[in-house]
A = this chain, B = another copy of it.
Amino acid sequence: MLPRTYDNQVCSVARTLERIGDRWTMLIVRDAVLGVRRFDDFQRELGVARNVLTDRLARLVDEGILEKRAYQERPERFEYRLTDKGMDLWPVLVSLMKWGDRHSPADGGPPTLILHRDCGGEVNERFQCVRCGADVNARSAQAMPGPGSLRRWPSAVL
C-alpha cells in the first residue's frame, strides 16, 4: 500500500510505524502490557476478527515484539508474551494515553491510571512518579482502572 519512496524515508518514526502503525497492532500491544497472553483473550477484549488477529500476532512475533510460547501440550496451546523490544513500546502507549486523556477525555475522568508500583504515585507525561520523583518504566509501572473506567478491563488481568 505504501509507495516505494516510503522506503527511502530514513526516519525512525516511519520505521516504527512500518512495524506497529496499525490500530489493532497497538491495541494488541496495549493488552499485552496489561497482561493478556492468549489468543482467545485478545480476541474477546478487542472484538477483532480472528483472521486479522492471527495476522497481527504473527507480524508482531516476526518483528520480535511478541514471543510465542507453548504453555500446554495435548492439545498444544500457545501464549504471546512481550519481549524486551515489545516492552520498550510502553512510552509510546503512555504518550498516546496521555494525549487521549487530555484531548479526547472520557466521561468521569481518565479511564486508566498509570501508577508507580513502589509508592502508588501517578506517573506523569515524562514517565516519572509525581509522588516520589522516580523514573518509571514498564516494569515499575502498574495500570489501574481510573475514575472514567467502565471496568471493561481485560478479564485475563482482573
Which A residues are closer than 8 A to B by beta carbons? Answer: 2-6, 8-19, 21-23, 26-27, 30, 46-48, 85, 88-89, 91-104, 106, 110-112, 125-128, 135, 148-150, 152
Contact = CB atoms under 8 A, between A and B. Distances in A.
Given A13-B30, A15-B104, A104-B12, A6 B47 contact: yes
Q: How many copies does the complex hold?
A: 2
A17 B26 contact: yes
Nearest first, the 7 closest Cβ-Cβ pairs linking A and B are A12-B100, A5-B47, A21-B23, A16-B100, A15-B104, A91-B95, A15-B100
Contacts of A98: 12, 91
A70 to B, nearest CB: 26
Given A11-B112, A21-B23, A103 B85 contact: yes
Given A6-B47, A135-B126, A17 B23 contact: yes
